[in-house]
Amino acid sequence: MILHGYGCSWTEGEGCDNSLEKLLQNQELIVFRNQQSWVKLLANKMDIGWINNGKSGNPNSIIFNSIIDDVTNGRVKKGDLVAIMWSSSLRDYAAFLPRQQWVSWSVKHLIERPHKFVDSYKSNNSSYDMFLKEYKNFFLEHLFNQNYYNIVNQNYIIFLQKLFKFYGIKYFMVDAFDKMVDMGRLNETDNYLHLINMKNYWNFGIFSMKEFLEEKEIDCFENTDNPGKHPNALGYNLISEELYNYIVENNII
């Protein structure tokens, strides 16, 4: 059995040791982070091999399609365990915005730094840029709707569940720092929760892993003022312990 981890920077292992990460670049940096990641720590607890496919900045659309590619090309095999730590929905390219634009790194980023979204696109046409900036402010005030992502994300989850069942692949899912489904904003007509296997989804709709760490009485996060703080080495170890216990308690393997 091989553990295949998918996700964004929270899966890659970013933030494990800021002081050392600053001294590394490119592949050397990725290898260092992977060695401190919850994917490796979890695999060690399970005494199995591991492959970390997490990549800093990954949107859920890339996570989703990478998993499908790896299953269909045989890289992920029957009996393997796929671990998905979903990123923020706001990183996906938005169909309602032009030229492959996305909204924000996370909900927290959008709340604290909306100007990053408003000022994110620059072209050679200053008049159009002015219009787009005004439109984005209008969009945030009048059109932004979390239920759009509720619908998309439920489809991601259900598709992968059925794919794993078809190919005989074990799996579990978890939310990194934004919930995939905002239960408070889920319309009744767009509610497909009865099709989601909650047993294989750590604290679905209840906790993100970031919220889990924030409840600890010890410092589990990197030292930065960025609103999107990553776990530190201790945080990643706590994640691996929590997921290991979850796997055992729910007989996922």
pLDDT range class, residue 166, cuts 50, 70, 90: very high
Nearest one of 2, 87, 120 to 52, comparing CA atoms? 2
| Predicted local confidence at residue 61, as pLDDT | 96
Between CA 46 and CA 7 the distance in angstroms is 20
Instruction: Give percent of the chain with pLDDT exceeding 70.
Output: 100
- pTM (2 d.p.): 0.94
b/e 84-110 (16+ beta carbons within 10 angstroms → b): bbbbbbbbbebeebeeeebbbbbbbbb
Residue with tokens 């691996």: 240
pLDDT of residue 123 exceeding 90: no
Q: Which residues contact 152 (CB under 8 A, 6 or more apart)?
A: 89, 92
83 φ/ψ angles, rounded to the nearest 5 degrees: -115, 120
**Residue 135, Ramachandran bin (φ over 0: left; ψ between -120 and 50: alpha; else beta):** alpha
- Domains with residue ranges and CATH for the chain: 2-92+147-249 (3.40.50.1110)
pLDDT at 149 > cutoff 90: yes
The DSSP element (H or E) to which 146 belongs, if any, is helix 146-167
The H or E element that residue 4 is part of is strand 2-6
Q: What's the rounded Cα separation, in Å, for the pair 83 and 93?
A: 23
